[in-house]
Amino acid sequence: MTKKILFFFLIIILLNFQNIFAKVENNIVLKVENEIITNFEIKNKIIATLILANQEVNQSNINKLKKQALDYLIKQKLKKIELSKYNLKVDQKKITSYLNSISLNNINGLKEKFSNSGIDFQLFYEELETDFLWQKYIYQVYSKKIEIDEKNINQELENLLQNQTNIEQFRISEIEISLNNDLNDQNKIINIQEQINKYGFETTAVKYSISSTASNKGDLGWLNAKSLNKKIFNLVTKIKVGEVTEPLITSNSALFLKLNDKKISKVENVNIDELKINLINRKKNEMFNLYSRSLLSKLKNNSLIEY
């Protein structure tokens, strides 16, 4: 009888420890309006990021990603709150395509990796849904505000082609990361450089870039040398094919560029319509990214965030 009683109390104690552990795991770190961020979500994001980057899950790597993960989750909650006001439906095909690109067409294998590491794949999937819905929302809201003057585009094309027999073109990929103008910025830049060296530019772009080109591995396509921003042109012309530029620092972001290829074409062989479309798309993407960052900043400033 005594043994049964002791066994019963032992079970009670073990269950209490499990409950305590669960409470610690789900301890609320902060609130964004009515949305909460828990320890579990932060852990899930950090380890998922390490797995996707093929990095070892150790304390050193976890510490490097803590602030980045928290910043990301705050933005996710802000997006979620704003998106809840609208009836938008996510394109599941786009998410599946993205998952195939980061898992080398082995989504089930990725799920198994997550499961073996104690990661909630559904939570990761919901983050992707939020990101893709946000991208859709930004395009819908701001597409009418983005006016590309065709006369200016045609004039730019004319200037590019005028008095030239040959045109230099670059195929470029990009990675853009946000900066907070604090001491952690340099660590973020170093981390991206380490990721590029270890896992490749394209993989790093998919996982870390905040640009809309991230889902396409950062690929900007073929760009006319003369159409590039002067600072970007100067950086790209200093490197060889396959190399990556030093980061171009702006007030709130850092831009890494990879020169994938370059060519010189005769003016008569250049596809003018394709060149024009590239110019228009580049200007649109720049504006969409700007609107997205601006709206998130505004939402953050106007939201109650409690630590």
Q: Which of 123-132, 154-163, 179-188, 230-239 has the lowest mean pLDDT?
A: 154-163
Residues 279 and 214 in one domain: yes
Query: Given a cut of 80, is residue 241 above it in pLDDT?
Result: yes
Residues 182 and 115 in one domain: no
Alpha carbon distance 281, 24 (integer Å): 47
Q: What is the DSSP letter of 267?
A: G
* Residue 152, domain member (yes or no): no
Residues 120 and 200 in one domain: no
Buried b (16+ CB within 10 A) or exposed e, 166-190: ebebbbbbbbbbbbeeeeebeebbe
Alpha carbon distance 188, 115 (integer Å): 28
Residues 204 and 245 in one domain: yes
Alpha carbon distance 219, 22 (integer Å): 42
Q: What is the DSSP letter of 26?
A: T
* Residue 244, domain member (yes or no): yes
* Residue 154, domain member (yes or no): no
**Which of these, 131, 45, 81, 49, lies nearest to 305 by C-alpha position?**
81
Residues 134 and 174 in one domain: no
Residues 174 and 276 in one domain: yes
pLDDT tens string 252-289: 789 999 999 998 877 666 667 777 777 777 777 778 87
Q: In this predicted structure, what is the pLDDT of residue 163?
A: 60
Residues 175 and 137 in one domain: no
Q: Looking at residue 99, which CATH number applies to its domain? A: 1.10.4030
Residues 183 and 286 in one domain: yes
* Residue 45, domain member (yes or no): yes
* Residue 151, domain member (yes or no): no
Q: Using 50, 70 and 90 to split pLDDT, how confident is the model at 18?
A: very low
Give the long-range contacts of residues 53-58, CB within 8 A, separation 24 or more: 53/195, 53/199, 53/203, 53/204, 53/207, 54/198, 54/199, 55/198, 57/117
Q: Looking at the whole model, is its pTM more than 0.95?
A: no
* Residue 221, domain member (yes or no): yes
Tokens in use for 102?
Answer: 């980061």
Residues 112 and 175 in one domain: no
* Number of domains present in the structure of the chain: 2
Q: Which of 52-56, 127-131, 260-264 has the lowest mean pLDDT?
A: 52-56
Residues 117 and 198 in one domain: no
Tokens in use for 192?
Answer: 């991206």
Q: In this predicted structure, what is the pLDDT of residue 15?
A: 47
Alpha carbon distance 280, 149 (integer Å): 9
**Domain assignment of residue 123, given as a range:** 2-143
Residues 194 and 136 in one domain: no
Alpha carbon distance 17, 196 (integer Å): 42
**Last residue of some domain: 87, 109, 143?**
143
pLDDT tens string 56-69: 888 888 887 888 78
Q: Looking at residue 215, which CATH number applies to its domain? A: 3.10.50.40
**Last residue of some domain: 77, 110, 143?**
143
Tokens in use for 139?
Answer: 């395009």
Residues 136 and 19 in one domain: yes
* Residue 76, domain member (yes or no): yes
Q: In this predicted structure, what is the pLDDT of residue 19?
A: 47
* Residue 180, domain member (yes or no): yes
